[in-house]
Amino acid sequence: MLPFQLGLIDGPVHIVALGAHPDDIEIGCGGTLLKLAESVPELTAEFVIATGAPLRLEEARRGAELFLPECEVTVTSAELPDGRLPAHWNETKELLEATARSDRRPDIVLAPSRHDAHQDHRLIAELAPTVWRNHLVLHYEIPKWDGDLGRPWLYVDLTEEQMHEKVVRLHKAYPSQVPHDWFDAETFTGLARLRGMECRARYAEAFTTGKGMLTW
């Protein structure tokens, strides 16, 4: 496996992270966020969440603070109906377009997988590259009952401490989800261990991307 350097660490880095629901971002790429927060001196981020009741959105704001401590983070939501995003295509597209009209140009856009079985995740994933056409869009994966995990080809290796912190902070940020049988350390750590094995690391988070360009 040939690693390559993104070349983002020399200056400020701005991230846009997209989630259909509160907790999507942290489940899919929380470890990557922790790693970026540790290694990038000037990191800012925008979390954009399409759905969520007030309680869940409060959890999302807490999650953003926990996963990107000491970073400037904003959280925006359209509060669209959970499970009904395809019926709200225009509002969803405008939510993303409004973020893209910001003066801040993102270095990385994080979005769900385009092969995700959940219709809300899939719509966000399909729209992201159409809104950010000239940006690096990385599609994260979310384990779920549907069994829709694919074959990723981009990996971010995580230390044991980063993996541990991801699980701890997920539980701290999203207490409403803890009663679910899938929301536990075994699920999150098990997938990360598998992805780590695939890239010769202890743990990793995995991504896909539709298009990219290597420059040097």
Predicted confidence (pLDDT) per residue in 166-198, tens digit: 999 999 999 999 999 999 999 999 999 999 999
The pLDDT score that the predictor gives to residue 211 is 83
Average pLDDT over residues 67-79: 94
Question: Which residues, in sequence order, are bridge partners of residue 204?
Answer: 157
Distances (CA, A) of 15 to 8, 42, 45, 48, 181: 11, 11, 5, 11, 31
Q: How far apart are CA 155 and CA 144, in angstroms?
A: 20
Confidence label for 103 from pLDDT (cuts 50, 70 and 90): confident
Residues 37-53 pLDDT 10s:
999 989 999 999 999 99
3-state secondary structure the chain: CCCCCCCCCCCCEEEEEEECCCCHHHHHHHHHHHHHHHHCCCEEEEEEEEECCHHHHHHHHHHHHHHCCCCEEEEEEEEECCCCHHHHHHHHHHHHHHHHCCCCCCCEEEEECCCCCCHHHHHHHHHHHHHCCCCCEEEECCCCCCCCCCCCCEEEEECHHHHHHHHHHHHHHCHHHCCCCCCCHHHHHHHHHHHHHHCCCCEEEEEECCCCCCCC
The pLDDT score that the predictor gives to residue 74 is 95
Burial category of 2 from C-beta neighbours within 10 Å (exposed 0-12, middle 13-18, buried 19 and up): exposed
**Chain-wide mean pLDDT for the chain?**
94
Residues 78-97 pLDDT 10s:
999 999 999 999 999 999 99
Residues 148-173 pLDDT 10s:
999 999 999 999 999 999 999 999 99
Prediction pTM value: 0.94
Confidence label for 137 from pLDDT (cuts 50, 70 and 90): very high
Kindly list the structural domains of the chain, giving each domain's residue range(s) and its CATH number in brackets, ordered by start: 13-208 (3.40.50.10320)
Hunting for tokens 């925008």 — which residue is that?
46
Say which residues have a Cβ less than 8 Å from residue 186's Cβ, sequence separation at least 6: none
Q: How far apart are CA 36 and CA 200, in angstroms?
A: 20
The pLDDT score that the predictor gives to residue 212 is 81
Q: How far apart are CA 121 and CA 113, in angstroms?
A: 7
Confidence label for 7 from pLDDT (cuts 50, 70 and 90): low
